Amino acid sequence: MNTPALAIQDAINWMMTHNVMLKATPGSSKHAAVSLTPATISEARFNALSESAPIFGQLINAVAENHQFLQEAIEPVAQGDAFFRELLAMHKAIHQKGNAKRTPLLMMRTDFMDDQELGPQLIEFNGIAAGMGRLGSVLMNFIAICKSNLQMRLATGTKTRMQNLSITWLSPV
């Protein structure tokens, strides 16, 4: 196996041994998606993308606060989908009683495609759930191990799989 294939296999093995898995079918699971090939961008481009993220946040907040627009936009979907029908019913019930007392906190992850001609294109805008906190710390460990394994392979020129120290406790004594 070549170094990228070994790095990918290390990543998959680590995710499997640290329960970073997704249910695929009843009784089976698959590893979470991962990319080991980030692209480098200039500091100026990074700053431009960073400056555009709050604009998308303001847009999402404006849409979320426009209850009439949400009702009109979701109504056609709700007619054919039970989940959206219930979601819309809850939204109506909350906002028919007057102003719903709430303190919004918008924590979002914004994924861009950096088009050199058209500028940043929004690909995904995801809310960050409180339950994702544990996953973040687990993934930081995962990234550190992958980086260490890859650096060791590159430094030593080895093309063999690295020992996965995180699963040594599984082997018989």
Chain-wide mean pLDDT for the chain? 76
pLDDT at 12: 85
Given a cut of 60, whether residue 26 has pLDDT beyond it is: yes
Q: Which residues contact 47 (CB under 8 A, 6 or more apart)?
A: none
The CA distance from 142 to 82, in Å, is 38
What is the per-residue pLDDT across 97-131, written as a single tens digit (0 to 9) for each? 766 666 666 677 777 777 778 877 778 877 765 55
Given a cut of 70, whether residue 46 has pLDDT beyond it is: yes
**112, two tokens:** 């861009």
Given a cut of 70, whether residue 132 has pLDDT beyond it is: no
CA neighbor of 88 nearest in space, from 70, 100, 66, 104: 70
What is the per-residue pLDDT across 61-71, written as a single tens digit (0 to 9) for each? 888 888 889 99
Share of the chain above pLDDT 90, in %: 8
Q: Find residue 31's DSSP bridge partners.
A: 21
State the pTM of this model. Answer: 0.48
